[in-house]
Amino acid sequence: MPPEELIGDPWYEAAHAVSAYEHGDEFDLLHDHTGPVGASIGAMRDAPTVHTLHGPFTDQTSMLYGRIARGHWFVAISHSQQAMGPPNLRWGGVVYNGIALDRYPFREEKEDFLIFLGRADEEKAPHLAIEAARRAGRRLVLCVTTKNQREQAYWADQVEPLLGEDVEVRGECDQAQKTELLGRAAALLFPIQWPEPFGLVMTEAMACGTPVVAWRNGSVPEVVADGETGFIVDSVRRWPPPSTG
């Protein structure tokens, strides 16, 4: 296995997938999580395979998966994601992402701040999280990443002008920092502006006993039980619902 920092490198990913499929006849079933490289290699083999797509269906992914549909069975990570796929895919079912609950201690006592975790881009919309927190009169902790030029440009144009004393920027958090903040926060803000296939951070927050206030998009209605484990909204003007204040 390559070092963790090389995950996603297409050369290592291809070599790993080739090695796995070379041993395909030793197993009753191969479960492929590797993305387009592995799925393409597997479609050329005779090994029975089920493929889980962890990202969204885009024009590019739909084009590829539509062409290799006969080579695999597919598993979706939400019904929302499944509905966006090419019509000729053979679906084995929907399996939601899971987390190791022992890594997310439940905490009943909460503090008077909100949290946002995610990329700094238009899809994750931390600028809307800032507006929502201000409407609620709460301090906001931003744990964000700006790893490429597009994210850095969005941060400079859409987020930096909104920063103030009520917004604490933490940058990217490690596992310990993330669980500590999620456990203490009054709520997680999740103002996604795209059809999120799953949204693992929502389950991480709920495991810590922290409600999720999320935009109605993608898998959100499948993950958040509105009024029980969080609140689903359609506009910043409704952030947060009265019962969260």
Instruction: Please report the pLDDT score of residue 185 as a whole number.
Output: 98
Average pLDDT, the chain: 91
74 and 132 inside one domain: no
Q: Is the pLDDT of residue 150 over 90?
A: yes
The mean per-residue pLDDT over the stretch 25-36 comes to 89
12 and 32 inside one domain: yes
Instruction: Please report the pLDDT score of residue 240 as a whole number.
Output: 53
244 band by pLDDT with thresholds 50, 70 and 90: very low
Which range has the worst mean pLDDT, 53-62, 117-126, 236-245?
236-245
Identify the CATH number of the domain in which residue 166 sits. Answer: 3.40.50.2000
Per-residue pLDDT tens over the stretch 51-71: 999 988 999 999 999 999 888
How far is it, in rounded angstroms, from Cα 22 to Cα 55? 26
Instruction: Please report the pLDDT score of residue 90 as a whole number.
Output: 93
118 and 163 inside one domain: yes
Q: Is the pLDDT of residue 47 over 70?
A: yes
Residue 144 belongs to what domain range? Answer: 101-244
Q: Where are the alpha helices (DSSP H) in 148-213?
A: 149-154, 175-184, 200-207
Which range has the worst mean pLDDT, 12-26, 136-150, 152-166?
12-26
161 and 179 inside one domain: yes
Q: Which residues contact 141 (CB under 8 A, 6 or more apart)?
A: 113, 114, 115, 116, 168, 170, 181, 185
174 band by pLDDT with thresholds 50, 70 and 90: very high
- The CA angle 47-17-5, to the nearest 5 degrees, is 155
The mean per-residue pLDDT over the stretch 88-102 comes to 94
* pTM for this model (two decimals): 0.88
- Better pLDDT: 177 or 45: 177
Contact yes or no for 202/221 (Cβ under 8 A)? no
What angle do the packed helices 36-43 and 59-67 form, to 10 degrees?
20
112 and 58 inside one domain: no
Instruction: Please report the pLDDT score of residue 196 as a whole number.
Output: 94
